[in-house]
Amino acid sequence: MARHDQSDGSGRSDGRRSDSRRSGRGRPVEPARKTPASERSLTHSPYFQGPLYERMSEDLHLAGMAKRTHEGYLRAVRTLADFCQRTPDQISEDQLRKYFLHLKNDRQFASGSLRVAFSGIKFFYTRTCRRQWETLAHMKVPNAKTLPEVITSDQVHQIIDSCTTQRMAVYFWTVYSLGLRMQEGLHLEVGDIDAERGMVHVHRGKGAKDRYLPLPLSTLALLREFWKTHRHPRFLFPADGRNHRGVSCARGPSQATTPMSPTAVQGAMKQITAKLRFGKKVSTHTLRHSFATHLLEAGVSLRAIQQYLGHSSLQTTMVYLHLTETAAVDTRQVINTIFRRPR
């Protein structure tokens, strides 16, 4: 089934939609971009708005930043402006130093959060409002050497069995069985499923990279059964609206214009894991980590897992070697066999 050339619900086009306004060579002419209301609400501040805000937003688009990076960087500059209580173009380097120290020492930001704040602010002062500041040139944010949490196959099934709605159970199983990121799962479309070949086409994953994944028969069956409940011509997981009216096809196919929201997914996972009490922090992304770990334990090669996850570097995938005891057990058996002295 062919993909529909529509927006993905986040204000971005898939790049193949035609436009009635074209240049002399027949190429589409993009209309002037207006900042979406959702984006403005995320970063609204009396100290960071108007032309300066719009200019940074445009710079982020020109730099090809992903939607979440775009929002995170704008938010980083907004919080800096609120802290200093002045527009970011009026902030001094000394005030910037005090702000970073505040994040690090007073608020004790984790390295990941501190990195986002630093990267967003550095982008602003190197692209949008250029400053030659030593603080930005020499500040270092250490990489946290943390390992991701994983859960067992039985615990995954407990999560699925604890879902109170069919759509959430199917969504969580799909994300787990395909090793998807949350947004990749939410934006799956009917045309992405190639049942004949047993493959799924993931469009524009992290880093705008496409990839193909093997489709388990159990996942295909669940997706087909769930699709019958809404029959949306495009989305596999359409937004359901209030009181779940958008999902029921009693009055015809779902008329949703966007996929299911991340908030709904995160809220469901939080409620389920609070009830199950696994003793560790479990999120939707934990299912992706568990997918990779379970494949590795079953003997699937790191190279194949790298391709399934969409990692550019094998080094990124190698973190899962630390999450499984299988490799260590196999190594011990080989060592004991090789270095055994005859009696």
Catalytic residue from among 40, 55, 131, 285: 285
CA–CA distance, 22 with 290 (Å, rounded to integer)? 47
Q: Are 259 and 237 in contact (CB under 8 A)?
A: yes
Catalytic residue from among 288, 289, 294, 308: 288
Based on the number of CB atoms within 10 Å of its own CB, is 158 exposed (0-12), middle (13-18) or buried (19 or more)? middle
Quote the strand ranges of the chain, DSSP E.
Answer: 193-194, 199-202, 211-214
Q: For this structure, is 187 an active site residue?
A: no
Q: Output phi, psi for 176, to 5 deg.
A: -70, -50
Catalytic residue from among 73, 99, 308, 320: 320
DSSP class of residue 318? G
Cα separation of the two ends of the chain: 67
Q: How many CB atoms lie within 10 A of CB 79?
A: 18
Q: For this structure, is 311 an active site residue?
A: yes
Q: For this structure, is 68 an active site residue?
A: no
CA-based nearest residue to 215, from 200, 205, 225, 226: 200
Q: For this structure, is 181 an active site residue?
A: yes
Catalytic residue from among 67, 206, 211, 212: 206
Alpha helices in 124-216 (DSSP H): 134-138, 153-162, 166-178, 182-186
Catalytic residue from among 181, 187, 230, 289: 181
Q: Are 143 and 168 in contact (CB under 8 A)?
A: no
Q: For this structure, is 322 an active site residue?
A: no
**Residues acting as catalytic residues:** 181, 206, 285, 288, 311, 320
